[in-house]
Amino acid sequence: RAPPSAAAPVGTLTVLVPMAGLIDAGAEAERLGRLLAKTRDDLSKVQARLANDSFVRNAPSAVVSLERERAAELERTASGLSSQLERVRALL
């Protein structure tokens, strides 16, 4: 099992950097929390747009497809940020 660390996706790999003693865990947790909140807010806006039947019916299919891709990317980002936040909180 990896020690508490920061993770960064690089292609299909995830690079882990041990963070104990290297960062201000409290400040990093706050930063990640703000970023996670913004990502979740953006995701809820995209999901609301996609839940709007009028938007889905009237928007060009390419636009709807891009919004679906954006929602999927935001979900992945939120999941990754949540995992990072948990690891940083473990340093506190």
Full-prediction pTM beyond 0.75? yes
C-alpha–C-alpha distance, residues 39 and 80, integer Å: 11
Q: Which class would CATH give 5-91? A: mainly alpha
How would you label 21-50 residue by residue, b for 16+ Cβ within 10 Å and e otherwise?
A: eeeebeebbeebeeebeebbeebeebeebb
Taking residues 22-45, what's their average pLDDT?
Answer: 94
Whole-number pLDDT of residue 23: 80
Digit-coded pLDDT (tens) for 51-80: 999 999 999 999 999 999 999 999 999 999
Contact 5, 83 (CB under 8 A): no
* Domain boundaries, given as residue ranges, for the chain: 5-91
> What tokens does 45 get?
């806006």
Q: How confident is the model at residue 88 (pLDDT cuts 50, 70, 90)?
A: confident
